[in-house]
Amino acid sequence: MFIDIDCAQVKKFGQNAFGDYFISKRSENQERVLAVLSDGLGSGIKANILSCMTATMLIRFIEEDIPIQKAAQIIMDSLPVCQIRKISYATFSAIDCRNDGSVWVVEEGNPSFLWMRKDEEMPLTYKEFTSPKFPDRHLKLYQFKAEVGDRIIFCSDGVTQAGIGTKEYPLGFQRKGILEALKKYLKIYSNISSTNLSKWVIQKALAVEENNHAGDDISCGVLYFRNPRKALIFTGPPYNRMKDREYCLSFSFFSGKKAICGGTTANMIARELNLDINNVSQADCGDLPPIAQMDGVDLVTEGILTLTRAADYLERDELNHKDAAGLLVNFLLESDIIEFMVGAMLNQAHYDPSLPIEIEVRRTVIKKIKTLLENKYFKQVVINYI
């Protein structure tokens, strides 16, 4: 199974910093995913510092193979108490899950998460541990086995308390409000990604707030256990021309979505596989070369310029562009496991020492995209130089 994970957040209205903090890490062997969502006391900069400290320390402990219960207890017993409000400086939810479906969750102070199988909630059992130092702090430990298609939805109390005090929601949206909305939505959109589902939950919470202004920091994280969506991008001709046909056949036999980035690469594949390249309308291409079409290939773009712009879009979270780079970004984000075939032959058309390194060296751009996809968008990326 592949674990698709993402988190959407909205700041409290009038604040310039998130009071909630989300962090996630995927192990080097891609078999384990860790995630922590912490809610700092209050809002703004102070809350941001508290939640960031809590989440960062907790995920580091778990990453170093300290059992999740022990790691959470260390954090629970270490968090100071606010002298004014007499409550903990932060609350948290932490998740440790494996590709075989094994899941461990700990919660301290955050709303209870939802485990959904299709459009139905799965029953949960837990063990509870009370802090010996702070008797009012209670840690819940869950352990269960997820299946393909299951989702875990966890949030800060900005979601469950959304709309509190309004006529329609005097006690807030609450967990049951989220659950009922999710049941209806997942019945229709059963294959929705974690990214889009987390955004949808946030929008549902904002919709019940007065004037759609967030009364607190609102965060929702989603994990989706599914069969991986694979993609392959071929860019740059191989170093050894004698192997052109071998690599082109490997590209054609790939089981998943396929893209070509580079005119030279596209011409090589068309030549070796006896395919035609068809030009596409110049509409919406901006200052980038337009895309093309080829049978059996999902996307065909120009090479280094488009890749460089796509890296910029990913870095700046600009995900709605309609030019070739925007289409490439969508191609990447709609996939879970992304493989690059990067040719080692230098394209003389772009060899100019006066140009930026991203333009001069293809592999530098690909490495940047790989880092962004792994660290920012939680994708699994493999680069093969040929």
The predicted-structure confidence for 81-120, as pLDDT tens digits, reads as follows: 776 676 778 999 999 999 899 999 999 999 999 999 999 9
- Is residue 167 pLDDT above 90, yes or no? no
- Is residue 348 pLDDT above 60, yes or no? no
Q: Helix (H) and strand (E) counts for the chain?
A: 11, 18
What pLDDT band is residue 320 in, cutting at 50, 70 and 90?
confident
Q: Residue 19 to residues 82, 157, 216: CA-CA distances in angstroms?
A: 16, 11, 8
Instruction: Give 121-139 pLDDT, tens digit per residue.
Output: 999 999 999 988 888 899 9
- Strands of the sheet containing 380-385, edge to edge, are 278-279, 292-294, 297-301, 257-261, 230-235, 337-342, 380-385
pLDDT more than 90, % of the chain: 71
Per-residue model confidence (pLDDT) at position 71: 95
CA-based nearest residue to 39, from 84, 9, 5, 83: 9
**Average pLDDT value over all residues in the chain:** 90
The domains found in the chain, sorted by start residue, are 2-226 (3.60.40.10), 230-385 (no CATH)
What pLDDT band is residue 355 in, cutting at 50, 70 and 90?
very low
CA-based nearest residue to 8, from 34, 30, 37, 32: 37
Average pLDDT over residues 74-81: 87
Per-residue model confidence (pLDDT) at position 356: 44
- Is residue 345 pLDDT above 80, yes or no? no
Instruction: Give 254-301 pLDDT, tens digit per residue.
Output: 999 999 999 989 999 999 999 999 887 655 677 888 999 999 999 999
Structure tokens at 168: 């329609």
- Is residue 304 pLDDT above 60, yes or no? yes
Per-residue model confidence (pLDDT) at position 341: 95
Q: Find all residues with CB under 8 Å of 98, minimum gap 6, and list them.
A: 31, 32, 33
pLDDT more than 70, % of the chain: 94
